[in-house]
Structure 1
Amino acid sequence: MSDEFLLYRLGENKDNKLRDIVSTIQEEQDRIIRAERNKALFIQGVAGSGKTTVALHRLAFLLYQYEGRIKAERMIIFAPNRMFLDYISGVLPELGVGDISQTTYSDWAIGLLQHEVALSDPSETMAYWFEQPRTHAELEQASGLYKGSLDFKEAIDERLKELADNIVPDVPFMPLPRMELKPEQMQEWHDTDYGEQSLMEKRDRLASRIRRWLESELKTKGIADKKLRSTALSKLNAFVKRMPSYTAVKLYASLFKGKQALTTVPKPIAKTTSERLARGEAAAEDLAALAYIQLRLYGLQNAPFDHVVIDEAQDYSPFQLETLKLCQRTVSMTVLGDLQQGIHGYTGIRDWDELKQLFPDDQADFFELNRSYRSTMEIIEFANVILGGMTGGVKPAVPVFRSGDPVTVEHAGATNGDWLRRIADTARQWQEAGEYDTIAIVGRTARECEDIYSYFMRDGMTASLVLSKQPAYDGGLTIVPVYLSKGLEFDAVLVADAGSDAYGPMDAKLLYVGCTRALHKLTLFYRDTRTSLLEGWHPAD
């Protein structure tokens, strides 16, 4: 594919769905698409590198290359939110992979648990971490980091081992005088016949085997007396009832409260989690452990996945990835993300090795995509300045040589009214110019976005307000909090407030995400003083 044609495609305005860059696949991306099937591919791709499109093309390639051995119905894409799922929904049928399941990890886990719990409103968590700057110390103590760790998984494994060791009763079953089933016999049944099954399947099958033993004994000994048979059955029911029986939620709750509570769980985390579970709810941070326990207790009820795609994987915990491993017979994954966009540091990873360690070296490959096809050279270079040295060892984005308008950073007035008026005037000017099909006003918080939206409505402007529960992406003029903008892209972006109160030194990745949503035009406003994250930026003369 010629560079001239690539530049032409990139210069075109996008519609309101994910840009189709089928014709711009480069050599580095082609290597990923055609990589060996039975591996976990980890792809570090900078903003605008086309990593999502590469993953979708990989699905199409695998279906073609391994026709008859893998099926679209047994492939699955995990996206960061429902809005992003809507954003890519139009692309899959065009690639001939429309039958592939698309979901979020939260929706998948709640379904796996058969809706035994409801997902608590994530807006409270979002508000805590994003409505005001947080310190590094607060981040390190986040409950999500603890619950997503392999240390927490190991603690759960210990509890599951205790449960497994107690499935077989250690006392004989004596339903009637001179009728005895010894523990050794029950242990032999368990070890010989049920070795590969899940814990509760073993328990239920052992209970059925004991019931059949009793029926055989009653028949062999010719016991027809109804009273004796009733006594024997009552004792059977009491004996089976004493065998451990858990749901995933019940076992998980026992880790935080009661005699069996884990002593390693920090008390504030235990208290909050117990209260939430008592309301019949689970937070997103609880779902990896709950899904893992469900799979260990009851096994996978559906066919294993032939291939798994995880987008925005920098926001996944090691424990989440471990649960998805349990849903495959053979490792076959495409795991993609960008550490530089890891804004959910209270749950996600800081280094790809945290996820790669779950696989043997010969089952994991690592690729880097650092060429950015989305934004102009000016926007990419500006965004790289924001990150400064906070790249986490990741190579900064290298722009395709496509020049555009300079990035502008402007003081938007001293009062709230002046600031809102400037935002509305700028958005209206962009719309009237007719150059941009999609425009985003990127706010720092949900409250800020609501204020801008209210002003727009009073001013007679039409816009879409995107908040945490927004199911679809409608294009046009959009107002969105920066933490929900990840994965989306717009022709023109106005960062509503890039002031020092909005973005502190810990918020470089957040501001980077907001700026790299822009394809062609980027403007930042600030009210008092601009953020120190822009100290290294000097406007072009």
Structure 2
Amino acid sequence: MPAHATNANDPLARERAHLSSSRAALRAMRADVESLDIKDVTANWVNAAVLQRQIDDRITALADLAHTPLFFGRLDYLHAPGAEQAEGAEGERFYIGRRHVHDADGDPMVIDWRAPVSQPFYRASKKNPMDVCTRRRFGYTGGELTAYEDEDLTDTAGAERASRLLQSEIERPRVGPMRDIVATIQPEQDEIVRAGIGGTVCVQGAPGTGKTAVGLHRVAYLLYAHRERLARTGTLVIGPNRSFLHYIEQVLPALGELNVAQATVDDLVAHVEVRGADSPAAACIKGDARMAEVLRRAVRAGVTMPVEPLVVVRGSRRWRIPAYEIEEIVSELLARDIRYGAARDALPQRIAHAVLVRMEAAGEAPDDRVQDAVARNAAVKAAVKTVWPQVDPAKLVLRLLSDADFLAEHADGVLSPEEQAEILMAKPARSVRSAKWSSADAVLIDEASDLVARTSSLGHVVLDEAQDLSPMQYRAVGRRCTTGSATILGDLAQGTTPWATRSWTEALTHLGKPDAAVEELTQGFRVPREVIAYASRLLPAIAPELSEATSVREAAGDFSVRSVPADSLDAAVVAACRASLAHEGSIGLIAADSRIPALADALAAAGLTFLAPGEETSDSARLTLVPATLAKGLEYDYVVLDEPEAVVSGEPDERTGLRRLYVALTRAVSGLTVLHAEPLPGALA
């Protein structure tokens, strides 16, 4: 139970002493790294630069963050775990924290939360104590250890009780970027976090279930368990927009992981400058998986069969390769269906081999150097240029989207004439640089680029808010983890694009991971029960196949829905924001994009300082003005939602609008105020 120190024999005083000793040990570990002298260790400046970077990263990872608890739990085992389980530690008591800390003798003072010996902290129960007799949780205030709470796992007669410290940590107000959840990971979340690197995991998670945090912590776990492998192959976190990436960017560094790249899908396919936009209908067609077949046909369209024999002059001899033999070589390369560029590189070698066969038949003894020389022969290079010309992916896509006859030739039987007309550029551009490319066009160019040359694969990719991707975007992500694994995170009920995912089975097929395991998280930890219940009224209209989310939040939360006169709406919104600022934590004012300018003026006139999504820091203003289209994935302690009907009507169709509203309603952690002048959507009324 929580307690406070009164004397030196008090357990809390001893825990504080261990915290002080652990912090001193961490400082000593950092000092040891800072004192390393590498000037006589490396062979050259390149090695020295690489090693110095590794040292700098290690120094950063060993930083002692004053307001981040060094350990948050303790496990008292009945028996000493095996050495292989305890990171070399001996004994029956282990402190669980964000990183490993050892003393001057190398004995662990804090065990990394990812180590096998730490796993019972998250999964042990009275039904399955996992050889743990006592689990202790610690409470902190401003970085100071102020309380502890013990759970006796050997008392099988007693009922399981919810941890008050755990509940307090879950409900703790926040300002600024997203925090890690290492102290509050639940058993069902831990199973996903510790899933092996060999398989892809898809997490269908209702609002507030922590799916984003689970995905980020899985990256941290995999980097711990497979560091050398992922150091070679790389890891990547993909988010829906820059605001979201800024919101989550501090989670992995807080866990000591500094080398995980972050990007949006648009960043991955940035082959051209995006300056245009598609109609919803055109974007849906361009994002359809059928476009992959259209592009495959177009890429290969330039391959032609030879009509003249090839004559290679070498010294005083002339070697003649008939057209039909070159045609056989070309046909065989086409049949293998390898990358266009790889086949083009192989063609001169195949032709050269045919010449060498004739040389050997004539009594010569050519070697590999002769074959390479023949492959570089001017006549061979000219033949390859004619038969298998180079392809510029951007120029190819530009031709497809601007030349109706070319598109019709390669989309025949794939796209209808009406669909072809929809995606043609109204004003064809003269060059790749002058074209007004859309985001969907960039994805098509990425597909064409991969058809020409294989895209490099990473070791692990995390894709968040995946439900909003088109099939072609899934393909773009999938080719970046063809030889690796992925963690896919999303919620079908929050799909707000016209091409939003209809099922995870379909999405995973487009991703190239059809055998991925699909896990569903339905128990929320952040959104108050009343709020999630209210938002769930929309589920029958937007995702009837999904289970209704629940919440473990004990706090009732502040929840109200108020109708106000239209001419008083702005003032009522400002007043609600001002009232929310009386509470501790962050405040998000979410509104339809069209309402943002008017609300910004109203807040400024009232003297309320506010930020845009992604600008939040721990010491910045607490109020953020959030366009509904950017709200996904973000959380605020208190949310003021302006005019739900405007959020719905701001989308192309009602179902998408209701999904956008579902997202907006579920951003609240402690309180939600809904203000409206127009009638509420029928599903909520």
Match of residue 580 from structure 2: 430
| Overall identity of the aligned pairs, in % | 26
Superposition pairs of residues 198-217 of structure 1, within 5 angstroms: 198-204=339-345, 206=347
Aligned to 1:534: 684
Q: How does 1:270-309 map to 2 (within 5 A)?
A: 270-272=423-425, 275=428, 279-300=434-455, 302=456, 304-309=457-462
Please report how far the alpha carbon of residue 248 of structure 1 lies from its aligned counterpart in structure 2 after TM superposition. Answer: 1.0
What is residue 151 of structure 1 aligned with on the other side? 290
Distance 1:77 1:162, change over 3 A: same
Superposed counterparts of 1:352-501, under 5 Å: 352-358=504-510, 363-415=515-567, 418-431=568-581, 433=582, 435-445=583-593, 447-466=594-613, 472-474=615-617, 476-499=622-645
Q: 1:89 to 1:465 in 2, by over 3 A?
A: closer
CA contact under 8 A between 1:453 and 1:465: conserved in structure 2? no
Check the 8 A contact 1:186/1:206 in 2, yes or no: no
| CA pair 458-309 structure 1, distance change in 2 beyond 3 A | same
Aligned amino acid, residue 438 of structure 1: S
Cα distance, 1:500 vs structure 2: 7.1
Say whether the 8 Å CA contact 1:38–1:363 is kept in structure 2.
no
- Give 1:330 deviation, angstroms: 2.9
SS of residue matched to 1:319: helix
Asked whether the 8 Å contact 1:73–1:100 carries over to 2, the reply is no
Matched, 1:253 2:398: yes
CA distance in 2, matches of 1:359, 1:481: 30
Q: Is the 8 A contact 1:440 1:494 kept in 2?
A: yes
2: CA distance, partners of 1:501 / 1:356: 30
Q: Contact 1:83/1:473 (CA < 8 Å) preserved in 2?
A: no
Post-superposition CA distance 1:263-298 (Å, at most 9, x none): 425144232377478633422223332212101102
Contact persistence 2:475–2:512 (CA under 8 A): no
Matches within 5 A, 1:500-511: 502-503=648-649, 505-506=654-655, 507-511=657-661
1:173 aligns with 2:310: yes
Deviation at 1:157, TM superposition (A): 2.9
What whole-Å deviation, never above 9, does each CA across 1:448-469 have from its counterpart, x for those lacking one?
Answer: 1011112222332211245xxx
Given candidates 459, 470, 490, the residue that maps to 1:337 is 490
Larger Rg: 2
Provide the C-alpha distance between the structure 2 equivalents of 1:51 and 1:212, rounded to a whole number of angstroms: 55
Superimposed CA distance per residue, residues 163-211 of structure 1 (whole angstroms, 9 cap, x where no aligned partner): 5xx2664532347896534345546776589979631243245358879
The structure 1 residue matched to 2:463, chosen from 294, 310, 321, is: 310
CA shift digits 1:509-536 (9 cap, x unpaired): 111111111111101111132332312x
Worse-matched range after superposition: 284-293 or 372-381: 284-293
**TM-score normalized by the length of structure 1:** 0.80
Mapped to 2, the partners of 1:465 and 1:318 lie a distance apart of 31
Compared CA separation, residues 29 and 169, structure 1 to 2 (3 A): farther
Q: Secondary structure at the match of 1:314?
A: helix
Residues 475, 511 of structure 2: 8 Å contact kept: no
Distance 1:13 1:357, change over 3 A: same
Aligned mate of 2:217, from 46, 50, 57: 57
Q: What is the deviation of 1:258?
A: 4.4
Give the distance between the partners of 1:209 and 1:319, measured in 2 at CA. 34
Tell me how far apart the structure 2 counterparts of residues 80 and 9 of structure 1 sit (CA, whole Å): 28
Mapped contact 1:497–1:527 kept (Cα < 8 A) = yes
Are the counterparts in 2 of residues 42 and 364 from structure 1 also a CA contact under 8 Å? Answer: yes
TM-score relative to the length of structure 2: 0.64
Match of 1:12 in 2: 172
Give the conservation status (yes or no) of the 8 Å contact 1:49–1:369: yes
1:448 is paired with a residue whose SS is helix
- 1: CA distance, partners of 2:646 / 2:477: 40
Q: What is the CA–CA distance in structure 2 between the aligned matches of 1:158 and 1:5, rounded to whole Å?
A: 61
**Which of 226, 231, 249 matches 1:89?**
249
In 1, the alpha carbon distance for the partners of 2:605 and 2:677 equals 22
> Partner amino acid for 1:458?
A
CA 1:456/1:500 → structure 2, altered by over 3 Å: closer, same or farther? closer
RMSD over equivalenced CA pairs, Å: 3.5
Tell me how far apart the structure 2 counterparts of residues 325 and 360 of structure 1 sit (CA, whole Å): 6
1:133: which partner in 2? none
Q: Could you say if the C-alpha distance between residues 204 and 274 of structure 1 is closer, same or farther in structure 2, counting changes exceeding 3 Å? A: farther
Work out whether residues 404 and 424 of structure 2, in 8 Å CA contact, stay in contact via their aligned partners in 1: no
Instruction: Quote the offset at 1:254 in angstroms.
Output: 3.0
User: Equivalent residue for 2:502?
Assistant: 350
Is the 2:200–2:513 contact (alpha carbons within 8 Å) kept by the matching residues of 1?
no
- The secondary structure found in structure 1 opposite 2:183 is helix
Report the Cα offset of residue 320 of structure 1: 2.1
**Unpaired stretches in structure 1, ≥5 consecutive residues:** 129-138, 221-231, 536-541
In structure 2, stretches of 5+ residues that fail to align are: 1-121, 123-161, 363-375
Q: CA deviation at 1:494?
A: 0.8
CA distance in 1, matches of 2:192, 2:647: 42
- State how far apart, in whole Å, the 2-side matches of 1:386 and 1:361 are: 31
When residues 405 and 91 of structure 1 are mapped into structure 2, their CA distance, relative to the original with a 3 A threshold, is closer
